[in-house]
Structure 1
Amino acid sequence: MSTEKRLDFFERYLSLWVALCIVIGIGFGKVFPGVVDSLSKMEISHVNLPIAILIWLMIYPMMLKIDFSAILKVGDRPKGLFITLFVNWLVKPFSMALLGWFFFKYVFIGLIGEQMANEYLAGTIILAAAPCTAMVFVWSYLTDGDPAYTLVQVAINDLLMLVLFAPIVMFLLGVSDIIVPKDVLFMSVLLYIVIPLVAGYITRRVLIPSRGEEWFNDKILTPLKPVTIIALLVTLVIIFAFQGEVITNNWFSIILIAIPIIIQVYFNSSLAYGLARYFKVPHNIASPAALIGASNFFELAVAVTISLFGLTSGATLATVVGVLVEVPVMLSVCSFCNRTQHWFDFESKPTKEKA
Structure 2
Amino acid sequence: MTQTADEPASAEGDVLHKLSFLDRFLPVWIIVAMAAGLGLGSVVPGLASVLDAVKIGQVSLPIALGLLLMMYPVLAKVRYDKLDTVTRDTRTLVLSLVLNWIVGPALMFALAWLLLPDLPEYRTGLIIVGLARCIAMVIIWNDLACGDREAAAVLVALNSVFQVIMFGVLGWFYLDLLPGWLGLDTASISFSPWEIALAVVIFLGIPLAAGYLSRRIGERTRGREWYEGKFLPKIGPVALYGLLFTIVVLFALQGDNITSRPLDVARIALPLLAYFAIMWGGGYLLGKASGLSYARTTTLAFTAAGNNFELAIAVAIGVFGVTSGQALAGVVGPLIEVPVLVALVYVSLWLRKRWHANASRT
Shared fold per TM-score greater than 0.5: yes
Q: Are positions 1:300 and 2:311 aligned together? A: yes
Q: Give the superposed CA RMSD.
A: 1.7
Q: How many residues align?
A: 339
**Helix, strand or coil at the partner of 2:254:** helix
1:265 to 276, 282, 286: 276
Q: 2:241 is aligned with what amino acid?
A: I
SS of residue in 1 equivalent to 2:191: coil
Larger displacement relative to structure 2 (237-246 or 338-347): 338-347
2:152 aligned partner: 150
Cα distance, 1:236 vs. partner?
A: 0.6
Q: Quick one: which of 337, 344, 351 aligns to 1:333?
A: 344
Q: Is 1:239 the equivalent of 2:250?
A: yes
Given candidates 110, 118, 121, the residue that maps to 2:120 is: 118
Cα drift, residue 318 of structure 1 = 0.7
Alpha-carbon displacement from aligned partner over 1:213-241 (angstroms, at most 9, x marks no partner): 11112332110111111111111101111
Q: Which runs of 5+ in 1 are unaligned?
A: 110-116, 350-355
Deviation at 1:22, TM superposition (A): 1.1
Alignment partner, residue 14 of structure 1: 26
Q: CA deviation at 1:3?
A: 4.3
Alignment partner, residue 136 of structure 1: 138
- Segment drifting more, 40-49 vs 299-308: 40-49
Letter in 2 for 1:130: A
Report the residue type matching 1:126 in the other structure: I
1:94 to 100, 103, 106: 106
Q: In structure 1, which of residues 20, 43, 60 is the aligned counterpart of residue 72 of structure 2?
A: 60
Deviation at 1:28, TM superposition (A): 0.2
Gaps (5+ residues) in structure 2?
Answer: 1-9, 180-185
**Structure 1 residue 347, shift from structure 2 partner:** 10
Residue 255 in 1 paired to residue 257 in 2? no
In the alignment, the residues of structure 1 paired with residue 42 and residue 54 of structure 2 have an alpha-carbon distance, to the nearest angstrom, of: 19
The answer for the alignment partner of 2:42 in structure 1 is: 30
Q: Could you state the TM-score of these two structures normalised by the residue count of structure 2?
A: 0.89
The 1:346–1:289 alpha-carbon spacing in structure 2 relative to 1, beyond 3 Å, is farther
* Equivalent residues of 2:12, 2:349 under 8 A apart: no
**1:217-267 deviations in whole A, cap 9, x for unaligned?**
233211011111111111110111111111101011000110011101111
Deviations 1:244-294 (A, max 9, x none): 111101011000110011101111111111000001111111112111211
- Measure the CA separation in 2 of the matches of 1:321 and 1:36: 21
Structure 1 vs Structure 2: percent identity of aligned residues?
A: 33
> Is the contact between residue 129 and residue 308 of structure 2 (CA under 8 Å) also seen in structure 1?
yes
Instruction: Give the letter for the 1:44 counterpart.
Output: I
Letter in 1 for 2:334: V
Residue type matched to 1:12 in 2? R
Contact persistence 2:167–2:197 (CA under 8 A): no
Q: Which residue of 1 aligns with 2:192?
A: 181
The CA deviation at 1:339 is: 0.8
TM-aligned CA deviation for residue 342 of structure 1: 4.3
Q: Does 1:202 align with 2:204?
A: no
Output one character per residue of 1:177-231: Cα deviation in whole Å (capped at 9) or x when no partner: 2432233211111112222112211222222112111111233211011111111
Residue number in structure 1 paired with 2:164: 162
Q: Is contact 2:56–2:64 with CA below 8 Å preserved after alignment?
A: no
Alpha carbons of structure 1 residues 347 and 167: separation in structure 2 relative to 1, 3 Å: farther
